[in-house]
């Protein structure tokens, strides 16, 4: 499971960084989104991976992290998702405004010479 998650984070982050460096605003927003997913999975993995464990206390189970999954990163991921989503929406608005002002989707507002 660790290797699958690590690969997923790596691929998402690599794609995100690649797209972020592209000159089109749509690519940039996709890159930021992918990067956000990679980061969220990464935070999740920092609470250690556990199968079939609950994040909330259950009666009769010893209260240590060996029997539970860490609830903290889950709360953090939730916050990060909400904030990231809102910021992406805002970026989308700026992207559309830029498109309206310059008539193209280049991040600098000008067409390439190519």
Partner 1 sequence: MRALAQALMPHLTIVPILLPLLTACLLLLLDGRRHRIRGMIGLAAALANLAVAVLLLFWVGSDQPAAYGVYLPSNWDVPFGIVLVADRLSVLLLVTAAVVALMALLFAVARWHKAGAHFHPLFQIQIMGLNGAFLTGDLFNLFVFFEVMLAASYGLLLHGSGPSRVRTGLHYVAINLLASSLFLIGAALIYGVTGTLNMADIAARIPQVAAGDRALLHAGFAVLGVAFLAKAAMWPLNFWLVPAYAAASAPAAAVFALLTKVGVYVLLRFSTLMFSDQAGASAGFGSDWLLWGGTATLAAGAFGMFSTQRPGRLAGFAVIVSSGTLLAVLGLARPELTAGALYYLPSSTLGVAAFFLLAELMERSRSADVAGARAPEDEEDHLPFPLAELELDKDVNLDEDEEMLIGHAIPAATALLGLAFICCTLLVAGLPPLSGFIGKFVLLSALVPELSADTARIDALLTWVLPVLIVLSGLCALVALSRVGIRFFWTPVDREAPLLRVVEFVPIAVLVGVCVFISVRAEPVMRYAAATADALYSPAGYIDAVLSARPRPTPTNAERLSLHGQESAP
Binding site for partner 1 (CB under 8 A): 20, 25, 28, 32, 35-36, 39-40, 42-43, 46-48, 72-73, 76, 79-80, 83-84, 86-88, 90-91, 94-95, 97-98, 101-102, 107-109
Nearer to partner 1, 54 or 79 (CB): 79
Nearer to partner 1, 2 or 101 (CB): 101
Q: What is the closest distance, in whole angstroms, from the C-beta atom of residue 71 to partner 1 in the complex?
A: 11
**From the DSSP assignment, how many helices (H) and strands (E) are in the chain?**
3, 0
Residue 68 has φ and ψ, to the nearest 5°, of: -130, 160
- Taking the C-alpha atoms of residue 97 and residue 61, their distance in angstroms, rounded to an integer, is 55
Kindly give, in sequence order, each residue whose CB lies less than 8 Å from that of residue 76, ignoring residues fewer than 6 positions away.
43
Q: What is the closest distance, in whole angstroms, from the C-beta atom of residue 4 to partner 1 in the complex?
A: 18
């Amino acid at each position: 499971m660790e290797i699958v998650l690590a690969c997923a984070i790596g691929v998402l982050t690599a794609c995100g960084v690649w797209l972020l460096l592209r000159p089109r605003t749509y690519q940039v927003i996709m890159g930021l989104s992918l990067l956000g997913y990679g980061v969220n999975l990464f935070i999740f993995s920092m609470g250690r991976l556990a199968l079939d464990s609950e994040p909330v206390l259950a009666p009769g189970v010893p209260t240590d992290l060996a029997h539970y999954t860490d609830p903290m990163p889950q709360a953090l991921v939730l916050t990060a998702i909400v904030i990231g989503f809102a910021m992406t929406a805002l970026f989308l608005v700026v992207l559309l405004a830029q498109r309206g002002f310059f008539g193209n989707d280049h991040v600098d507002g000008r067409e390439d010479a190519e």
